[in-house]
Every structure is written in C-alpha cells, then in structure tokens.
Amino acid sequence: MKCVGLLQVFCLLVLALAAGPISAQAQRQASPAMSGRMEMSLKELKLTDDQMKAARQIKANYAKRLLKVRSDIIAKRIEFRNLIRDPSASEEMLRAKGKEIEAMDVQLIREMIDFEIEMRKLLTPEQIQLWCNYMDPSSVKKVKK
C-alpha cells in the first residue's frame, strides 16, 4: 500500500516538472483550437499597440490558469482511478471524487468564458464582430450572391 502512495507522489512530481516546459509553451498558445485563429484574428483586427499588448497578456494569463486547472483534473483522475482499484473504497467516496472532477470541468468552462469576456472588453464594437467571426466561423451567416 505504501508503494501505491509513492507511485502517486511520483506521478504528481512528474506532472509538476513537466508543467515548466508546458507552461512556457502554453503562454505562446492558449489551446490548439485557438492558437492559429487567435493570432490570425489579432492581426486581422488591426489592434492598436496597447490593445495588442493587453490581448497577449489576457491570452498568457488564460493559458496559465488553464494549465493549472487541467493539471488538477489529471491529478483528481489519478486519485479516482486509485479509488476504483481500492476494494475498500465506498460508493460515496467514488461519487465524491467524481463530483470534484466535475467541478473542475465546470471551472474550465468558466475560464473560457472569462477569457472571452476579458478580450471583448478591450475591443471596439467592430472588432468584436470580426473577432467573433474568426473565433467561431460556423456562426457566420452565409450571404447569397
């Protein structure tokens, strides 16, 4: 049983050490889905220097927070898997750990919403329209020619 605890500590340590290089990469890229569109949209929006600086700061802060929540979710999932394997773990313990993971999933959504709200605050109404079209091209209404 002591080996399982040491294995958990080792796994969390590996995650923590891996977070250094990942964190630097995350500052350049908020998420794979957003990276290209985000950079393209910032260039296409013709932001002022102040807007560009603020947008990059918002993006970097978002990436850091996202990385933290995702690493916490991974740790909780490891804990959940260990509980599943433990014959003495009760159903209540399993459900409680599941609710912790669920709450963190909700936090990911909240972080995304916070990011979009912060970005929206620094844009003009015209830039908001353009930015939304870049971020969600499927929502752009098709114009018949």
* Tokens found for residue 25: 């990469």
Would you state the pLDDT for residue 136?
A: 73
**pLDDT category, 137, cuts 50, 70, 90?**
low
pLDDT > 60? residue 20: no
Would you state the pLDDT for residue 122?
A: 92
Domain map (residue ranges) of the chain: 2-126
Average pLDDT value for residue range 60-81 = 95
Would you state the pLDDT for residue 28?
A: 38
**99 or 23: which carries more pLDDT confidence?**
99
**pLDDT category, 65, cuts 50, 70, 90?**
very high
Report helix, strand and coil shares of the chain as percent, to nearest 5. 85, 0, 15
Average pLDDT value for residue range 81-99 = 96
Give alpha helix (H) positions in the chain.
2-28, 32-44, 49-85, 91-122, 125-135
